[in-house]
Chains A and B, each alone.
Chain A
Amino acid sequence: MNAIEVRGLRKEFDGFSLGPVNLTLPSGCIMGLIGENGAGKTTLIKLLMGAMKPSGGSVCVLGERDLRRRPAVKEEIGVVLAEPCFPEEITAAELGIVLAHSYARWDAEAYKAYLERFELPRDKKFKDFSRGMKMKLAIAAALSHRSKLLVLDEPTSGLDPVVRDTMLDLFFEFTREEDHSILISSHIVSDLEKLCDYVAFLHKGTLLLSEEKDRLLERYGLYRCTQAELDALPPGALKGKRVGSYGVEALVDREKMPGGAVLQSPGLEDVIVYMSKGGRP
């Protein structure tokens, strides 16, 4: 079973349109959603969660096609938003009570353990939390109702590297159960490279790629060459380039390259940066 299936999903706004988006997150896997600010990542997450009405296309999350009419499936989805939106006057302990009355499968013990693990004060008001503490509280809440799917929008932003690493371990831990999946959006490509099995890349509302990370890294190569060699590349081979004073570095499709060309393995960040630049230098 797939945790998420999206087909031809579109959303039109004045001055911005998202999609059509097609992506599949198999159950038990982690998908990284990459894109610059304003690429449409948060809009996509809202559409997936039924928090926004799509202009077209379909979404199926944990086997449910209509989250807007049947929100009960959200019991099984833990969400962390880029900006934690808890009421300012509420404390972590009170939030636990609110969520216990909202989620039938709320695990108060797990929540308490996360608060201790993240060193979060139980009785301090949310408005007095630092940005990092707010994110940690949101993650603790998302992990404490026995969800099968985590939808995380920039969950590690505002966290220092040590805490970020702890969070990534937690997410790994979460996917040890074979039916647990994660969709995570982040600017920090290195985090996603460590964490993800699948990568989806949104650029200005268009999904440029959605595939298995290892296959993606195998499919492309970095080609260092002269401008003349670049001009001689077969059509469709060039995916992106950077022209410097010492030559050209290009992201190319290995399958379309002539035999004998020396290619280096790119990192995920290379693929993303070159693809977003396209043919521009």
Chain B
Amino acid sequence: MWGLLCKDFFSIKKTAGFLLLLGTAYIVLDALPTGGTSSFMGLFLFFFLSMIPITVLTMEEKSHWSEYAAMMPYSRKMLVVEKYVLALASAGVSLVLYVVVFSLAIAFGVNAMSMAGVWTSACVGVCIGLVVPALNLPLVIAFGVAKGRLILFGSIALVIMGLGMVLEAVGSSQISSLAQAIGSFGLVSVLGASVLVFVASMGISVLIDERKE
């Protein structure tokens, strides 16, 4: 699998470098004095880097890399799973950068946020880093990058519209009690759920890829 990860790194080093720079700039801006709170701007890095597996798949589609990869000593399953490993690595890089920048800001007295607060925000970031590729990858593997993205955006729009209609019908008092109920599950539960979604997505992608033949 190292070979595949190296290939992805060499293919996207320029794009990833730019995203990394942009995302880090957002984290730095976020870590500047804000009176002990985070604006969550720093979490953009998690979102930017979560799109890396999709960017790689776009490039692979263009160069027909999958035809060559199928001739290499890798199973089809390995080729799919590697994209999830790449997503994990991207989330990991984002997490390290986020925590390091905020820790430095706190250490130098630039930001008054507590380390617990930093880890809480970083957890939200990791959830983004896991859920975004988990939703994208099965669709992209099934329909290709262009169609897959279109279907995802269409589905999201439909879900938001549907939710809007439901929430309007339910009323604001019930919405706040629902939010409280979700909040009581805690961030760790949300992170756990994100991991489950990520693992399930990987299984689904492997199945889709097998059936695609």
Contact = CB atoms under 8 A, between A and B. Distances in A.
Contact of A74 (B2, B62, B73): B73
B169 interface: no
Contacts of B64: 83, 85
B170 interface: no
Contact of B10 (A49, A73, A94, A103): A94
Interface stretch (A64-72, A154-162, A177-185, A265-273): A64-72
B10 A102 contact: no
B71 A49 contact: yes
A191 to B, nearest CB: 22
Interface in A89-119: 89-91, 94, 97-103
Contacts of B168: none
Interface string B71-94: 111111000000000000000000
Contact of B2 (A83, A87, A101): A101
B76 to A, nearest CB: 7
Interface in B49-103: 59-60, 62-68, 70-76
Contacts of B73: 71-75, 102-103
Contacts of B60: 87
B63 A102 contact: no
B19 interface: no
Nearest to B76: A68
Contact of A90 (B7, B70, B76, B213): B7
A110 B6 CA distance: 20
A87 B10 contact: yes
Contacts of A51: 67, 70-71
Q: How large, as a class, is the contact surface on chain B?
A: 20 to 34
Q: Which of B60, B70, B74 has the most CB of A within 10 A?
A: B70
A81 interface: yes
A138 B74 CA distance: 18
Contact of A102 (B59, B62, B72, B75): B72
Contacts of B213: 52-53
B68 to A, nearest CB: 4
Contact of B68 (A68, A77, A81): A81
Given A68-B76, A71-B74, A74-B73, A88 B59 contact: yes
B11 interface: yes
A81 B63 CA distance: 13
B3 A85 contact: no
A98 B6 contact: yes
B4 interface: yes
A206 B63 CA distance: 30
Contacts of A68: 75-76
B71 A90 contact: no
A85 B73 CA distance: 16
A18 interface: no
A87 B71 contact: no
Given A68-B75, A151-B71, 18 more contacts: A49-B70, A68-B76, A79-B71, A86-B65, A87-B7, A87-B65, A89-B14, A97-B6, A97-B10, A98-B7, A101-B2, A101-B6, A102-B2, A102-B3, A102-B73, A102-B74, A103-B3, A103-B72
Interface of B: 2-4, 6-7, 10-14, 59-60, 62-68, 70-76, 213
Interface of A: 46, 49-53, 68-69, 71-75, 77, 79, 81, 83-91, 94, 97-103, 151
15 contacts: A52-B213, A74-B72, A81-B71, A83-B64, A85-B65, A86-B63, A87-B60, A89-B11, A90-B11, A91-B10, A98-B10, A99-B3, A101-B6, A102-B72, A103-B3
